[in-house]
Structure 1
Amino acid sequence: MPESFTPAIHFVADAFRTARQDLMGLPVANQGFLQALIRYGDLETLHAYTSSRARFGQTFEHLARDLGATMPIRVIDGRRLDQLAEVGGLAVCDPNIATFARQRSFIGSRAYALTGLTHTLADFPPMAMLADLAAAPVQPWDALVCTARVAAKMVEEMLQAEERRLSERLGSVHFPRPLLPVIPLGVDTARFAPREDWRASWRERLGIGAEEVAVLYLGRLSRHGKAHPLPMMAALGRAARTQPYRLHLILAGWWLHPPEEAIWREQAAALCPEVPLHLLDGREEAVRREIWSAADIFTHLVDNIQETFGQAPVEAMAAGLPVVVTDWAGFRDTVRQGVDGILVRTIMAPPGEGREASLRYATFNIYYGTWLSLTARLTAVDIAGAAEAFRALAADRTLRRRMGAAGQTRAREMFDWSAVIPQYQSLWRAQQAIRLAAPATQVPVPDPRYMDPNQAFAMWPSGTFQLSQRLRPDPAATTTELRPLLRFTAPSLPGEFDEAEISELLAELRRAGDATVEELLRVLEPPRRDAGQRAVLWLLRVGLAVKS
């Protein structure tokens, strides 16, 4: 086994596109991962796998080159599982490795390893993907990377529940599982290094005085799908009333639903009128790159199960900012209480309280955003604790600098892509070792979901085409021109007989006058006989031949 091994990257163009109005965290993370793999992966060749090389191959190559790739690039077409087997692995940028395991059944489970990745888990589709792992043909050499410890625990919870259900329903006792390593999302920490010129220009532009304290939130602005602003604004209002210097709130984000802006402004006016509000478009590259330098504190008081890892606090730490975030999900893995920032306590209703919301969502009675919002309503953030965190940091520049420096060091050592990519490489080597040590599998049998239609629907026609079938040219054929017939009966798969080959086959039938399919195929080279058999059936289909 080679010292270094890197799987092919599954490429879906939209999942890597960051130039968009509806910007989400997934494409940003995917593009960051690809760039880091190019930079730190020590690749001899960059392999990608996409549904159609003809449609998306050039798109991937352009993206990879823009991200700094200088090595050879090989894009594998979706149907070429044999080429994936040559590479030995496929990395998928979502949790849906069950689907790819079923696709792998065409060539055999031992052909290559699969690596998936959790992002947000709070929706029925990704939850279904996780439950599906219990019955899907995943193997011990496959892996689902969890970006946080809580994500790994949630996956375990889902798998255990589905395994219990299958055991009770079917008597199942054997459930092969993928590996569930915890590897964080990475950050290009150098990109977030603060600059005094950016700080000065932005603070002057926004009217923030030298002694005033700017609190930054950067990300998507959504009460339903990210974080309700009430705890943040209420806590800032309380803190502002105890400070000798003004607090400022910078919201560098974007609304997926523009009418939300008026609601946020209204809440800010009601809850923290003492705090000037600055709204910036966080989709603009200059804003995303520079605004960190203008801030003194970063905050993200999440109360929504949509958040799993939470990359923004790590970016803030890389920028040297102390963070005030909720004690929530993956934030516990990134922020050390009292060292890099302050974790604000949260509390959620006990199990059972969300059953009605899930019933309504499962029966299409409510939308996804409503389901998230109803769940968030059953969560409370410690507003008094958040206010005290803001007050303590706003009042103590030394504390801010100490926490900011600690966070910057932690981000560089733990979450920079240069530290994260080696963790993936170690995982991929382990997967390869397990796969190659496994016994050879039996003859591959495609998953029933992808059954050969000529097998699944064999009872539809009157009979089945056989090699023993006798044929003769049809004297009543209305035309013998192959080109229009081929055009009318398109499409065909690559490797099928072309016009010249079909013409030779038809000429052979005319010379014989009457022959079995097997006799006609004998004139062909063995590798072409399968395609030749389909070509003979095509002669019957278009009326150039008839059964004897």
Structure 2
Amino acid sequence: MKAAAALLYAPDGYDTSRPRLMGRHAAGAGFLGGLVRHAGFDRLVALTRSADDAAAFRAQLKDLGATVPAETLGDADFHRLAETGCLMLPGPDLSSFAWRRRRGGAAQAFSLVGITHTIASAAAMDSMAEMLVAPVQPWDALVCTSSAVQAAVRRLWQAEGAWLARRTGATRIEGPALPIIPLGVDATALAPDPAARAEWRARLGIRPQDIAVLHHGRLSFHAKAHPLPMFLGIARAAAAAPAGAKVVLILSGWFADTVQRRAFSAMAKALAPDLEIRLVERPETDTKLRSAADLFTLLSDNIQESYGLAPVEALAAGLPVVGTDWDGLKDTVAHGVTGFRVPTLLAGPMGDLAARHDIGLDSYDEFIGGVAQFTAVDVGAAEAAFAALIGDAALRARMSAAARARAVAHYDWQKVIGQYQELWAELARLRADGRGERAARLRGEDPVPRRPDPSALFADYPTRRLTPETRLRLAPGLADAQAAVARITAMAGLSGGAARRELLPAAELFQAALAPLDAGPATAGTLVAGLPPGQAWAVFRALGWLLKIDVLRLEEEG
């Protein structure tokens, strides 16, 4: 098959040997390997910016076992992309290449296809907003890795489009196509391995009858997944283990810094002192560690996340997944079939966080850490999911088989590359049809469209949003508001308990807001009704943090 797409290649987008490994690096390397194995191209083409990058491309293809020629194009060869018909970008920056294509002549010469990774950063939001004013064409596309991401991109475009309409009087505003294509995995390489299972469990001191829960990835309470619901849920669910068996949590991954390391250690000791934990750092070169586990968990609560590759790798390894009902996990984890999705809740407003990040007062880490602080994972539902799998070997076996089958059928790179080939063919058809640039009116309001309130932009990530009508009650074990405030104070003082303590209201405000719960459940609106208007909003969104740390529960929870 003639090459149907060229890659924009720089080692940063495809290198997994780096010390600070991110999901986009693993995704890029996986995509390149998938092309080598499954695309069937007569050659593999890359647009590179330097001789060193061209050499790195050829070297990486050799390492991947490519048997077809590698061809690299420099800046002066940009027009030759018409020979392949498409340029694949490792991120969402279609706009700059669309302008460059326009300068070169016919916009129908080739298509541009970008992909979303995180869409929470200022740079990513700017790239997506620019698509509405750049010469992006109907035969271009921004691939969304999940339905939640697609919804967020559309919401951002609605706000930006409304501003453009008012500012310029434009009546047709439209971006590129937004197909949903998941990230893939090498299902063959991730297949369960009994020998590796025995070896790893012996190495970690896990007996055959024990139940091992694996958490793999970056270990970050502010930028990946706060470990509180995992520690509490597994520790409490350990009581469901069969007689003679113990539950072991395998923390596999890497800490960004010593702050994260200390925080995880402190929270584990405070929240799950009796839970046995094995730490395996930087195991990314050994895919067989997954074979040691009986189930996998990632209780993501962060807008930095957009897909969640680790849970899909776990499915391919035949592991039932306890994940959150959040971003890409909504698409990949079939609730009750391949695992369980734990409900999430997003509080707000957070327009101040968007503004502080926009003007440089808060770093990106501070921004996403602030949003995560007011995002709650249902601790009770997490406990129930862990208990169900820990206590029922037959359920684990059924979900294991279903997980492996789902990964092979939907997420193996052979299937995913096939979806890309279908997309490239459709875009080529649109180019051949000669249709002009399209635009459609987009609606929506936001004071600063490119820096919207994250609690509105990411409304499709959680199970539900906190509203004034949401009914709340004190969590089990808390007799009254005074006891609740004592727990709040303890959690706020715990390293990692609150990523942005300065955003929390004073203890006196919490005491006043929670007092009505002494008499029984009440709505969120009732709890803040008597507070000063200038402080009520801050307490309202902080209710999300109280749900997060298991001070509050939704009334309908068991």
Which of 431, 434, 439 does residue 435 from structure 1 map onto?
431
Match of 1:403 among 388, 399, 406: 399
* AA aligned opposite 1:94: G
Cα distance in 2, alignment partners of residues 285 and 356 from structure 1: 41
Counterpart code for 2:418: P
Q: Do the aligned partners of 2:253 and 2:284 also contact (CA within 8 Å) in 1? A: no
- Residue deviations 1:164-204, cap 9 Å, x none? 10010011123242111111001101111111111111111
Distance 1:121 1:183 in 2: 16
Rg larger in 1 or in 2?
1
**1:251/1:173 Cα in 2 relative to 1: closer, same or farther (>3 Å)?**
same
Cα distance in structure 1, aligned partners of 2:258 and 2:187: 31
State the one-letter code of the partner of 1:405: A
**Cα distance per residue 1:262-311 (max 9 Å; x no partner):** 2211111111122111111134412xx11101101100001111111111
2: CA distance, partners of 1:177 / 1:107: 21
1:524-535 aligned within 5 A: none
The whole-number CA distance in structure 2 between the counterparts of 1:424 and 1:6 is: 10
SS of the aligned residue for 1:55 comes to helix
- Contact 1:319/1:408, CA 8 A, preserved across alignment: yes
1:78 aligns with 2:75: yes
- The corresponding residue for 1:344 is 342
Task: For 1:60 and 1:201, locate their aligned partners in 2 and report how far apart those are by CA, in whole Å.
Answer: 35
> CA offset at residue 4 of structure 1?
5.9
Q: Which residue of 2 aligns with 1:231?
A: 229
Q: 1:51 aligns with which of 49, 73, 76?
A: 49
Which position in structure 2 is the counterpart of 1:8? 6
Q: Which residue of 2 aligns with 1:265?
A: 265
In structure 2, distance between residues paired with 1:177 and 1:363: 26
Aligned to 2:318: 320
Alignment of 1:92 with 2:89, yes or no, is: yes
Instruction: Give yes or no for the alignment of 1:420 onto 2:421.
Output: no
* 2:126 alignment counterpart: 128
Matched residue, 1:167: 165
Equivalent position amino acid for 2:57 in 1:
F
* 1:394 correspondence with 2:380: no
**Structure 1 position 276 matched with structure 2 position 272:** no
Q: Alpha-carbon deviations, 1:404-442, whole Å to 9, x = none? A: 10010000000001111111001001111111221699x
Between 192-201 and 161-170, report the one with greater CA deviation.
192-201
Question: Letter of the aligned partner of 1:103 in structure 2?
Answer: R
CA distance 1:305–1:284, change in 2 (3 Å): closer
The 3 A distance-change label for structure 1 pair 131 and 190 is same
Identity rate, percent = 41
Quote the offset at 1:224 in angstroms. 1.1
SS at match of 1:110: helix
Match of 1:191, SS state, is: coil
Give 1:242 deviation, angstroms: 4.3
- For residue 374 of structure 1, the aligned residue among 370, 375, 394 is 370
Give the structure 1 partner of residue 353 of structure 2.
Answer: 357
Encode CA deviations 1:369-418: one digit per residue, 9 max, x unaligned: 11111101111111111111111111111100100100100000000011
Question: Would the aligned equivalents of 1:110 and 1:440 in 2 still touch at CA under 8 Å?
Answer: no
Stretches of structure 2 lacking an aligned partner (at least 5 in a row)? 438-558
Query: Match of 1:224, as an amino acid?
Result: H
CA distance change for structure 1 residues 5 and 152 in 2, over 3 Å: closer, same or farther?
farther
Partner residue of 1:40 out of 38, 41, 48:
38
8 Å CA contact retained: 1:321, 1:403: yes
2:246 aligns to what? 246
In structure 1, distance between residues paired with 2:3 and 2:17: 31
Deviation at 1:215, TM superposition (A): 0.5
Q: What is the deviation of 1:55?
A: 3.0
Secondary structure of the structure 2 residue equivalent to 1:211:
coil
The question of whether the paired residues in 1 share the 8 Å contact of 2:95 and 2:134 is answered with: yes
Match of residue 532 from structure 1: none
TM-score using structure 1 length: 0.77
Q: What RMSD over aligned residues (CA atoms) do the two structures have, in Å? A: 1.5
In 1: Cα distance, 2:418 partner to 2:240 partner: 47
Q: Deviations over 1:42-80 (max 9, x none)?
A: 10111111123x232111111111112111111000232
CA distance in 2, matches of 1:326, 1:129: 28
83-92 vs 134-143, which moves further: 83-92
Instruction: Report the AA paired with residue 436 of structure 1.
Output: A
Match of 1:67 among 64, 68, 77: 64
Q: Determine if contact 2:118/2:304 at 8 Å carries over to the other structure.
A: yes
For residue 285 of structure 1, give the secondary structure of its aligned residue in structure 2: coil
The alignment partner of 1:273 has SS state of coil
Matched position secondary structure for 1:68: coil
3-state DSSP of counterpart to 1:401: helix
Query: CA contact under 8 A between 1:216 and 1:297: conserved in structure 2?
Result: yes
CA distance in 2 between counterparts of 1:4 and 1:163 reads 38
Are the aligned partners of 2:238 and 2:390 in contact in 1 as well (CA < 8 Å)? no
d(CA) in 2 for partners of 1:242 and 1:416?
Answer: 34
**In 1, Cα distance between the equivalents of 2:132 and 2:274?**
54
The structure-2 alpha-carbon separation of the partners of 1:284 and 1:437, relative to structure 1 and needing over 3 Å to count, comes to closer
For residue 86 of structure 1, report the CA deviation from its aligned partner.
Answer: 2.4
Aligned to 1:25: 23
Can you list the C-alpha shifts for 1:94-113, whole angstroms capped at 9, x where unaligned? 11111110111221322211
Shift of 1:126: 0.4
Structure 1 unaligned segments of length 5 or more: list them. Answer: 442-548
Q: What code does the residue aligned with 1:254 have?
A: W
Verify the 8 A CA contact 2:3 2:45 in the aligned structure 1: no
Normalised TM-score (structure 2): 0.76
